[in-house]
């Protein structure tokens, strides 16, 4: 049966075999990934490492992700995305397997752990844009939001189970065996990804101004240009950069300290559990709720994330902190689903991986710096005052970005050819402008009769939501 006919019969994402393999592969990988940070922390401490050395090991992964993501986006639009995912998972299994063996055998060192995390971060960044972009290839457009919601939901559930199991495995048999679980999860995920069968993404015709053999840099620039073409997209990425600089440090550095000092060490685990519960409840809601202006609704609800630093700053009762943590997860998940849907519906398929890469790089580039400077700043101004500053920055930046007309007006589209038609219209418009400029130039320097004007073209349709 032709693929289009098969898709027409689907009424639920789970009826699609490619989607099942994608979701199960990502969930398996997420389960194992939840073991890694817990195991690494105990491994570094067991080797006599300090908090600074642990921070460097963790930072190596984050730095590698930011630096490598754009390359992953370019490769994800050049090569079959499932191949990128298979290769990354298989190599990650090998890397984590070596780390696990070194710790179990007793010859692991902190520099080796840092180097392994640098490599693991690169491998994850190379496949991450592909794993996001491939969703639109495994289900028909009308099921895209439900597919994204289900994919994220099962991944979040797997992470909760992974975090729960990681502590028990480390306590029972040691950090090396916990990382071995991560290695095994990557190997299983690679098998799931190998079973995904999707048609290749049709590449758009190359612009006349493009190089005959585009380089990684030129294609990365094309991805950035695609992001800049959509006002709603670059505005929200800019907001995310500010958000993660301030909020990342507040949650990752100050959150555990404030909660421990006021409510005890166990309370931070409850707060993280409340965040994950919010993720899952928000994900369940997005399975049913499909607002016409989903990006606007999601951006408004993203404001709920300010409840968590506000509750930490107030420091009144633990139940307020847990409610704030739940609202953080709830609002962030609804925004994330609608953001993902908006990108996959508005961007041509052959540019999706690069756009997702620019999103990740632009959104998280300032997070490592935020993690580094939050502690010293909070020591000077005080933890609670700085948490109130973070609350104000999150709220204020969202209020400003909601003034962007295209964020308020962008509507969902289940038309499978919507993004491609918009892309072709933009290409036609760019070509028309170039031809007119060439005609004008030749008219100034030669006989205009030898360079007749182009036949009249109908005006290219424009996106009324952009701008």
pLDDT recorded at residue 52: 65
pLDDT beyond 60 at 418 = no
pLDDT recorded at residue 443: 47
Give the residue from 196, 227, 245 where a domain finishes. Answer: 196
The CA distance from 195 to 185, in Å, is 16
Q: Is 210 a member of any domain?
A: no
Over range 93-113, report the average pLDDT: 92
Q: Give yes or no: residues 282 and 139 share one domain.
A: no
Q: Is 145 a member of any domain?
A: yes
pLDDT beyond 60 at 353 = yes
The CA distance from 283 to 10, in Å, is 21
pLDDT recorded at residue 452: 33
pLDDT recorded at residue 302: 95
pLDDT beyond 60 at 130 = yes
pLDDT category at 298 given cuts 50, 70, 90 is: very high
Q: Burial of 131 by CB count in 10 Å (0-12 exposed, 13-18 middle, 19+ buried)?
A: buried
pLDDT category at 203 given cuts 50, 70, 90 is: low
pLDDT category at 127 given cuts 50, 70, 90 is: confident
Q: Give yes or no: residues 46 and 107 share one domain.
A: yes
Q: Give yes or no: residues 174 and 272 share one domain.
A: no
pLDDT recorded at residue 296: 95
pLDDT recorded at residue 389: 95
Q: Is 140 a member of any domain?
A: yes
Q: Give yes or no: residues 66 and 36 share one domain.
A: yes
The CA distance from 50 to 315, in Å, is 29
Q: Is 455 a member of any domain?
A: no
Over range 149-176, report the average pLDDT: 87
8 A C-beta contact, residue 356 and residue 343? yes
Q: Give yes or no: residues 249 and 157 share one domain.
A: no
The CA distance from 93 to 213, in Å, is 33
Q: Is 356 a member of any domain?
A: yes
Q: Give yes or no: residues 354 and 221 share one domain.
A: yes
The residue range of the domain holding 400 is: 217-441
The CA distance from 207 to 209, in Å, is 5
pLDDT recorded at residue 375: 81
pLDDT recorded at residue 212: 57
For 42-59, the pLDDT digits (tens) are: 888 888 877 667 767 877
Q: Is 187 a member of any domain?
A: yes
Over range 10-35, report the average pLDDT: 89
Q: Give yes or no: residues 423 and 275 share one domain.
A: yes
pLDDT beyond 70 at 239 = yes
Q: Averaging pLDDT over each range in 98-112, 132-146, 447-461, which range is the top one? A: 98-112
The better pLDDT of the pair 204, 331 is held by 331
Over range 392-412, report the average pLDDT: 93
The better pLDDT of the pair 414, 411 is held by 411
pLDDT recorded at residue 163: 80
pLDDT recorded at residue 2: 43
For 318-351, the pLDDT digits (tens) are: 999 999 999 999 999 999 999 988 998 898 888 8
pLDDT recorded at residue 352: 85
Q: Is 446 a member of any domain?
A: no
pLDDT recorded at residue 206: 45
Q: Give yes or no: residues 77 and 118 share one domain.
A: yes
Q: Give yes or no: residues 163 and 242 share one domain.
A: no
Q: Is 467 a member of any domain?
A: no
8 A C-beta contact, residue 3 and residue 134? no
Q: Where are the alpha helices (DSSP H) in 250-315?
A: 255-263, 265-288, 294-302, 307-314
Q: Give yes or no: residues 134 and 245 share one domain.
A: no
Domain count, the chain: 2
Over range 271-290, report the average pLDDT: 88
Q: Give yes or no: residues 112 and 227 share one domain.
A: no
Give the residue from 162, 196, 230 where a domain finishes. Answer: 196
Give the residue from 163, 196, 229 where a domain finishes. Answer: 196
pLDDT beyond 50 at 275 = yes
Question: Whole-number mean pLDDT of the chain?
Answer: 81
pLDDT recorded at residue 323: 95
CATH of the domain at 390: 1.20.1250.20
The better pLDDT of the pair 225, 41 is held by 225
The better pLDDT of the pair 187, 254 is held by 187
What is the share, in percent, of the chain residues with pLDDT greater than 90?
A: 33
The CA distance from 192 to 138, in Å, is 14
Closest CA to 335 of 287, 401, 282, 284: 282
- Per the rule left: phi > 0, alpha: psi between -120 and 50, beta: everything else, 2 is beta
Q: Give yes or no: residues 192 and 221 share one domain.
A: no
The CA distance from 342 to 298, in Å, is 11
- Per the rule left: phi > 0, alpha: psi between -120 and 50, beta: everything else, 49 is beta
pLDDT category at 94 given cuts 50, 70, 90 is: very high
3-state SS assignment for residue 321:
helix
The better pLDDT of the pair 407, 211 is held by 407
pLDDT recorded at residue 194: 93
Closest CA to 3 of 131, 137, 130: 137
The CA distance from 344 to 418, in Å, is 10
For 299-325, the pLDDT digits (tens) are: 999 999 999 999 999 877 899 999 999
The better pLDDT of the pair 265, 62 is held by 62
pLDDT recorded at residue 87: 92
pLDDT beyond 50 at 361 = yes
């Amino acid at each position: 049966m032709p693929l289009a006919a098969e898709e027409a019969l689907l009424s639920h994402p789970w009826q699609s075999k490619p989607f099942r393999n994608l979701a199960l592969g990502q969930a398996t990988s997420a389960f194992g990934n939840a073991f890694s940070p817990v195991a690494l922390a105990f491994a570094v401490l067991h080797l006599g490492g300090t908090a600074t050395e642990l921070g460097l090991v963790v930072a190596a992964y984050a730095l590698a992700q930011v630096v490598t993501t754009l390359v992953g986006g370019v490769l994800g639009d050049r090569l079959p995305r499932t191949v990128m995912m298979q290769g990354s998972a298989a190599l990650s299994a090998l890397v984590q397997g070596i780390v696990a063996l070194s710790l179990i055998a007793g010859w692991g060192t902190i520099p080796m752990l840092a180097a392994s995390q640098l490599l693991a971060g690169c491998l994850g960044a190379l496949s991450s844009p592909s794993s996001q972009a491939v969703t639109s290839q495994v289900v028909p457009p009308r099921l895209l939001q439900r597919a994204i919601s289900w994919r994220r939901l099962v991944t979040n559930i797997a992470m909760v189970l992974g975090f729960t199991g990681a502590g028990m495995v480390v306590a029972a048999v040691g950090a090396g065996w916990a990382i071995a679980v991560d290695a095994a999860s990557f190997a299983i995920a690679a098998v799931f990804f190998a079973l995904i069968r999707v048609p290749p993404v049709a590449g758009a015709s190359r612009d006349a101004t493009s190089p005959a053999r585009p380089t990684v840099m030129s294609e990365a620039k094309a991805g950035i240009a695609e992001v800049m073409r959509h006002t709603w997209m670059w505005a929200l990425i800019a907001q995310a950069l500010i958000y993660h600089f301030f909020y990342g440090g507040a949650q990752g550095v100050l959150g555990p300290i404030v909660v421990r000092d006021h409510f005890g060490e166990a309370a931070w685990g409850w707060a993280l559990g409340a965040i994950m519960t919010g993720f899952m409840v928000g994900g369940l809601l997005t399975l049913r709720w499909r607002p016409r202006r989903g990006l606007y609704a999601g951006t408004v609800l993203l404001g709920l994330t300010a409840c968590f630093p506000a509750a930490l700053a107030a420091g009144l009762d633990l139940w307020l902190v847990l409610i704030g943590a739940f609202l953080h997860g709830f609002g962030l998940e609804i925004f994330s689903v609608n953001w993902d849907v908006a990108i996959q519906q508005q961007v041509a398929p052959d540019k999706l991986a690069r756009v997702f890469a620019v999103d990740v790089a632009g959104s998280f580039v300032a997070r490592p710096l935020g993690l580094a400077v939050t502690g010293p700043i909070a020591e000077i101004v005080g933890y609670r005052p700085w948490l109130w500053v973070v609350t104000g920055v999150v709220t204020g930046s969202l209020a400003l970005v909601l003034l962007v007309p295209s964020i308020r007006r962008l509507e969902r589209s289940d038309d499978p050819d919507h993004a491609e038609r918009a892309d072709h219209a933009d290409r036609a418009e760019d070509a028309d402008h170039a031809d007119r400029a060439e005609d004008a130039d030749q008219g100034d320097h030669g006989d205009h009769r030898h360079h007749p004007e182009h036949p009249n073209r109908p005006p290219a349709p424009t996106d009324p939501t952009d701008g």
